[in-house]
Amino acid sequence: MAAAVALRKEPGQREKAIWVLLFLGLMCAEIWMMGIDRKTNIAKEKETRDAEIASFKAVGDGIKDSIRNSQAQFAATIGRFDEQSALLKAINEAGQRVAEVLKSTVHSQRDEVQIEGVQLSQKILQFLYDRDRATPVRPIVAPGQDVSNQYDSMLFAYRNETVKIYRTTFGPSVSVFLKDLARQGVDDSGLVQSARSPEAPYMIRIVAEKIGEVAMKLGKD
């Protein structure tokens, strides 16, 4: 268009006006196209930026979930370690009671009840330790997954199973021991109440340790 205008030697006023209008129109069209291109570029940049932010957020959330799961696993491991350490200490003390009692010659039925009690205490504590060692571990999951509820349900079911096995395996022996205690004139209401219906492993542990303590007192009376 510029070449055509240059070749025109003496354009008239009307023709000049037309050329000016054409130039203005082309300039407006070019500015309009530049605006469209700019909006398109801005939209693409925003889309790319939003995608990057979402990606970074997903990575950050994944890291947070991993840290949370690791902390939960660590806490569970420390909790189990403390529980097993306490059980081992109790088992060791029960073993010392058994050894101490067995050193003495059995002279009476009271001595037999004492041996029955310390041995029963040791067996129950060993059972609890073995069950605790076999406790299901918290699963390692992918970032973003939360298994807290499922794991808690699994632990709840496992502990209920522990209580059920205890009642079947040791319940009758505990009842016999309590009756033998009563025949010896020993009435420990705290032990009777605890042994009646323990509903969790820690309650069973209390019963086992109490049986050992009460049994040792028989030799002192």
Q: What is the pLDDT along the chain (221 residues), one digit of tens a residue?
A: 555 545 555 666 776 677 667 777 777 777 777 777 777 777 777 787 777 777 666 655 555 655 565 555 556 555 666 777 788 788 888 888 788 777 765 667 788 888 899 999 999 999 999 999 898 877 766 666 666 778 888 889 999 999 999 999 999 999 999 999 888 888 888 888 888 888 999 999 999 999 998 888 876 55
Q: Are 122 and 216 in contact (CB under 8 A)?
A: no
**Residues 6+ positions from 69 with CB-CB distance below 8 Å:** 138, 140, 141
Q: Tell me how far the alpha carbon of residue 217 is from its chain's centroid.
A: 42
In a domain, residue 117? The reply is yes
Q: Is residue 133 part of a domain?
A: yes
The whole-number pLDDT of residue 172 equals 93
Q: Is residue 11 part of a domain?
A: no
Q: Is residue 8 part of a domain?
A: no
Distance CA 134, CA 188 (A): 33
**pTM, rounded to two decimals:** 0.62
- Closest by CA to 98, choosing from 129, 132, 123, 130, is 123
Q: Is residue 16 part of a domain?
A: no
| The pair of three-digit structure tokens given for residue 194, joined into one six-digit string | 């605890």
* Domain count within the chain: 1
Give me the domain span that covers residue 133: 84-218
| Residue 117 token pair | 């009690």
Give the CB-side neighbour count of residue 113, counting CA atoms within 13 A: 23
Q: Is residue 213 part of a domain?
A: yes
Residue 9 lies in a domain: no
Contact 203, 209 (CB under 8 A): no
